Amino acid sequence: MVIFIRSLSNLLIAITLFVSFSVVAIDNPDKPDPVSQIDALSAPFIDKIEQVSGYRDTLLAYTDYHEFLSLQIKDTVSSLMSQLTETEQDSFKAGHEAWEKYIESQYEFIEQVWSKDNFGTASAIDRGEFKARLLREKLIALHYYQNTLL
């Protein structure tokens, strides 16, 4: 009898989790998908990165992409701030400032380890990709925040 109750309990938990995840997935299908939006806006920069060759051109292509992502982050932060209460803004600012310090430390780490001396001309690709991933992930998170407030 105890085994039956445990099995039934596990089945109910599994069904509950399945239903809850399904509901989250269909929360609002009309809202734009942040990842798709960012990928579409990033496409010209990614295409340029894939087409260039050489250390300097790769570095410049990634720099353009980083500047684009940074501007998108700045614009999204401004937009998001306008949707928050003063108390929420204070909390968000503190978190964003901590993220900016984190990014600075990550950039220093990336520059130190994946230097041209250590990795040659391929270092531009590695550094560019690592930095772009950090910025892109932040932008995606900000878009998710913003979409839940709409």
* Crossing angle for the helix pair 123-149 and 34-51, to the nearest 10 degrees: 160
Q: What is the pTM of this model?
A: 0.77
Euclidean distance between CA atoms 111 and 93, whole angstroms: 27
In this predicted structure, what is the pLDDT of residue 98?
A: 98
CA distances from 73 to 15, 60, 89, 96, 117 (A): 39, 20, 16, 10, 31
Domain regions of the chain by residue span: 1-29, 31-149
Euclidean distance between CA atoms 49 and 132, whole angstroms: 11
Euclidean distance between CA atoms 57 and 49, whole angstroms: 8
In this predicted structure, what is the pLDDT of residue 25?
A: 46
Q: How far is CA 60 from the centre of its chain?
A: 22
The residue ranges of the chain whose pLDDT is under 70 are 1-29
In this predicted structure, what is the pLDDT of residue 24?
A: 46
Q: Which residue has the tokens 């410049």?
A: 60
In this predicted structure, what is the pLDDT of residue 15?
A: 59
Euclidean distance between CA atoms 45 and 114, whole angstroms: 22
H helices present in 26-150, as ranges = 34-51, 55-81, 86-113, 116-119, 123-149
In this predicted structure, what is the pLDDT of residue 36?
A: 92
